[in-house]
Amino acid sequence: MTTTIAGQEVSVNAEGYMTDLNQWTKEIALEIAKAEEVNMTDKCWEVIAWIQEQYRNENPLTIRKVGKSGITDIKEFYELFPNGPLKKASKIAGIPKPVGCI
Amino acid sequence: MKKAVILGAGTAGTMMSNHLAKKLPKDEWEIVVVDQEKTHYYQPGFLFLPFDIYQPEDVVKPIDDFLPSRAKRIMQKIDRVEPESNTVTLQNGDMIGYDILIIATGSHIAPKEVTGMMSDAWHKDVFDFYTYAGACALREKFMNWEGGKLVIHITEMPIKCPVAPLEFAFLADAFFTEKGMRDKVDITFVTPLSGAFTKPVASDKLAYLLKDKNIRIVADFAIESVNNETRTIHDYGGKEVAYDLLVTVPTNMGDSMVERSGFGDDLNFIPTDKCTLQSKVADNIFVIGDATDLPASKAGSVAHFEADVLTENIIRFINGEPMTYEFDGHSNCFIETGHGKALLIDFNYTHEPVEGSFPLGSFGPLKLLKESRMNHMGKLAFRWVYWNMLLKGTPIPFVPATMSEAGKHLEMSKHD
Ligand SMILES: Cc1cc2nc3c(=O)[nH]c(=O)nc-3n(C[C@H](O)[C@H](O)[C@H](O)COP(=O)(O)OP(=O)(O)OC[C@H]3O[C@@H](n4cnc5c(N)ncnc54)[C@H](O)[C@@H]3O)c2cc1C
């Protein structure tokens, strides 16, 4: 399905996660962040860029990996993206929600 | 003589030794298998030990019973691999050279990764069931346990057999119901993921299970510490869950031999090509089973599918041909749901778990993503198949290495 975010038409799934990272822009990210009640600091943007890079390289994401990214630690990750940081950061980064096997 | 050396004689290493024994000419190749253990454990059986469905003796057999007679077996701890010189160093200082190396050292639990998890309460109030010792200790505990808050917990992903903790919760519900004390046991399932089922088709189809069984779920829980005095677990976001009995799946890591060799990721998993199973460390090193960093499930069934692909690729590699056999991430597993029923799921890198039947198209007796008694029988039969066919590399009828699309409602998986 498609929806309009920040004036642009983007494809998303039923939960509002973007399905095509090529459509992602900073403006879109800001609008998703607002809906998720995340205040985008410089640190947040660094984390988002790192997450997108992992996704492009097909590295599955985990909280531990974010904690070891050298950009932030787990405690701070929770402060940057409160309540379910990996879910929220993935949504803002325009990548699919991290899933298990079922 | 050229040498093919296999590190680890668990599910994957044993299968590879049997495949290669058939394929590599005897007069040209020596096969060497190294494992520190005497015993082969049927790990899927660990799930059933605490509930007295299996007895301890059902899940152990000698490793040597399953290795081909031509293989040279070394019982030693592996210290490290040196890819530059094509040698493996053992703990006793012995060195083994190789032409082809297959790493199948698996993954195991690392409870020390979480503050407070490993304490005096370990195997008293805080248990794992991913080891033989843990499953046996929990079996003892359950025999006389009077009830209270039972918390089933996953520390972080990836873990082997990712559905086992959920099955544990279902079996616990059935076990305490049958004992007539379910009203005394409060079951909570705690996961770092966003739910018990995170794939869209599965969460649509299976959401009813937890509700029906009265299992509470706490999602998005990234554990920071266990406090065995207050009997609580804490997450980085400030959430807290109280337990009387904590059954946790600790962090899963590859063997420390990988770290000593200097080529693992932060969890000691080995960078591996997800299609050919060649390592990214050196051309003549291959990796199979739980030891890889593949985005596929860590499961015996996956190792079985990988073994077919890897055997062909190794033969091609030896002959200097391109490796054309590609692993597609094929995975299937039974999910025990308790009371003599089970579900079956089948998926790969690109397809989500699907509905339909398995393995014979619309004639298949096993229903995918639906609870049935047949599926439960299938899960119990898996033990026989494991000891008698899987480890020996005997093809299992109708179960191809790559995912068959017959009989499956694949359109179901196009969720976005
Ligand atoms: C509770 C539970 C339930 C499961 N249920 C299922 C299921 O229903 N279906 C399914 O398909 N899978 C299931 N699995 C997963 C399955 O058991 C594993 O995926 C499978 O055994 C992996 O095989 P492997 O050969 O990679 O590793 P393993 O079988 O673990 O073998 C690794 C071997 O390497 C040896 N080794 C490691 N390091 C060294 C060293 N340094 N020196 C010497 N030897 C070493 C070990 O001794 C071991 O023998 C389950 C697992 C658990 C724990």
pLDDT tens string B279-330: 999 999 999 999 999 988 899 989 999 999 999 999 999 999 999 889 988 8
Domain co-membership, B177 together with B121: yes
Distance separating alpha carbons of residues B121 and B111, to the nearest angstrom = 12
A102 in a structural domain: no
Contact between A90 and A61 under an 8 Å Cβ cutoff? The reply is: yes
A98 in a structural domain: no
Domain co-membership, B30 together with B116: no
* Mean pLDDT along residues A8-31: 94
Which atom of ligand 1 sits closest to the CA of residue B291?
A: 26
Domain co-membership, B172 together with B239: yes
Domain co-membership, B7 together with B129: no
* Residue that is last in its domain, among B252, B271, B289: B252
Question: What pLDDT, on the 0 to 100 scale, is given for residue B280?
Answer: 97
Burial label, B79 (beta-carbon count in 10 A; 0-12, 13-18, 19+): middle
Contact between B72 and B111 under an 8 Å Cβ cutoff? The reply is: no
Domain co-membership, B245 together with B114: yes
B414 in a structural domain: no
* Residue that is last in its domain, among B232, B252, B272: B252
Distance separating alpha carbons of residues B111 and B122, to the nearest angstrom = 10
Domain co-membership, B80 together with B126: no
Distance separating alpha carbons of residues A72 and B273, to the nearest angstrom = 29
Contact between B88 and B98 under an 8 Å Cβ cutoff? The reply is: yes
B385 in a structural domain: yes
Best mutation target among B191, B198, B416 (most A Cβ atoms within 10 Å) is B416
Domain co-membership, B383 together with B361: yes
- For residue B398, what pLDDT band results from cuts at 50, 70 and 90? low
B416 in a structural domain: no
Domain co-membership, B276 together with B374: no
Cα B336–chain centre separation = 15
**Secondary structure percentages of chain B, helix, strand, coil, to 5:** 30, 30, 40
This prediction's pTM:
0.93
Percentage of chain A lying above the pLDDT 90 cut: 75
Domain co-membership, B356 together with B308: no
* Spatial CB neighbours of B81, under 8 Å, sequence gap ≥ 6: B7, B87, B88, B89, B101, B103, B257, B261, B263, B285
Domain co-membership, B337 together with B240: no
B45 in a structural domain: yes
* Mean pLDDT along residues A58-76: 89
B70 in a structural domain: yes
Mean pLDDT is lowest, of B82-86, B302-306, B377-381, for B377-381
* Mean pLDDT along residues B130-134: 98
pLDDT tens string B29-65: 999 999 999 999 999 999 999 999 999 999 999 999 9
- Ligand 1, pocket residues at CB < 6 Å: B 8-13, 34-37, 43-44, 46-47, 77-78, 104-106, 129-130, 160-161, 164, 255, 257, 289-291, 298-301, 303, 333
* Number of structural domains chain B divides into: 3
Flag if B193 and A102 touch (Cβ within 8 Å).
Answer: no
B274 in a structural domain: yes
Phi, psi at A3, each rounded to 5° = -150, 170
Nearest CA in chain A to B295: A60
Contact between B126 and B73 under an 8 Å Cβ cutoff? The reply is: no
Query: What ipTM does this complex have?
Result: 0.85
Average pLDDT, rounded, for chain B: 91
Question: What pLDDT, on the 0 to 100 scale, is given for residue A61?
Answer: 87
CATH number reported for the structural domain that contains residue B221 in this entry = 3.50.50.60
* Mean pLDDT along residues B220-244: 96
CA B161–ligand 1 middle distance (angstroms): 10
Find the CB nearest A63 among B156, B158, B347. Answer: B156
* Number of structural domains chain A divides into: 1
Residue B180 has pLDDT above 70, yes or no: yes
Residue A98 has pLDDT above 50, yes or no: yes
Domain co-membership, B19 together with B62: yes
Percentage of chain B lying above the pLDDT 70 cut: 92
Q: Which domain holds residue B373?
A: 331-409
Q: Which domain holds residue A64?
A: 2-93
Nearest to B290 by CA among B39, B105, B60: B105
Nearest to B221 by CA among B236, B207, B199: B236
Question: What pLDDT, on the 0 to 100 scale, is given for residue B410?
Answer: 54
Distance separating alpha carbons of residues B196 and A76, to the nearest angstrom = 26
